[in-house]
Amino acid sequence: MKENRDTEQGAPSNADLVNASAPPCIPAGIRTLLGKPPLVVGEDRDLYETLLAGIVARAQPKDIIAWMLVVNFANLQWENRRWHEAMAGIINVARRDGLQSMIELTIDENDIQDGSDPEREAEIRSHNWYREPDSRQATTEHLAKYDIVDVSDTMSAQAIAMRAPEIEMLQRMMAANELRCSAVLRELERHDEAMARRVRESREVIDVEAEEFAAIPSAQP
């Protein structure tokens, strides 16, 4: 019943929010007041505008205070996305180190080439994992002897363990971001309770999409 009531009042449905692709219709004066989007080098301006468009379309701000609160909320959602991507990046970069660690812990002295050592041999094999299919197969068979069957998942697990301090720092930053989002929503409720409800609904859609994206299996070897 809530969604039907919003539709009758002119608010877009959740489908409109998910499919929003055009930049929001922000008045020129307000756009100037808000300043440049809070993007770092390499971030997608169009994707940011799509996120902002969806939240603005749902919120329907009517005055400058509402606009500032809604855009602040959208920026916090974008920042949260940045921290999630940073965490994934840290893990992905450390995956080879994780593989090297597994090989070094399990390698047999008889498998080490003359003039080499376990650390150097593990480093070579971990690099070859990404370069040579035959070497990847040999490493997979070697690790299977130690009941390491799903090598890719174990590489990620080892990477997480090795980069735990950085990941924990990002998790603290995301927790702080969550507190700031809650504070903005409380301000929205004081300013316009109905608008705050619509913004909360937009966040639910964003969270669902994020969970669906996270559930997509990684194609990285």
DSSP summary character for residue 109: G
Domain boundaries, the chain: 2-88+174-214, 89-162
pLDDT tens digit sequence for 194-218:
999 999 887 766 654 544 444 444 5
| 1-15, 103-117, 167-181: least confidently modelled range | 1-15
42: burial class by Cβ within 10 Å (0-12, 13-18, 19+)?
A: exposed
Q: Give me the pLDDT at residue 201, please.
A: 84
Q: Give me the pLDDT at residue 14, please.
A: 42
| 30-44, 78-92, 178-192: least confidently modelled range | 30-44
Average pLDDT over residues 120-147: 93
If one counts every other C-beta atom within 10 angstroms of the C-beta of residue 39, the result is 14
Q: Give me the pLDDT at residue 12, please.
A: 46
**Torsion region of 112: left, alpha or beta (phi above 0 gives left; psi -120 to 50 gives alpha):** beta
For residue 178, pLDDT beyond 70? yes
DSSP summary character for residue 110: G
| 8-17, 74-83, 110-119, 202-211: least confidently modelled range | 8-17
CA distance 47 to 82: 12
Q: Give me the pLDDT at residue 122, please.
A: 92
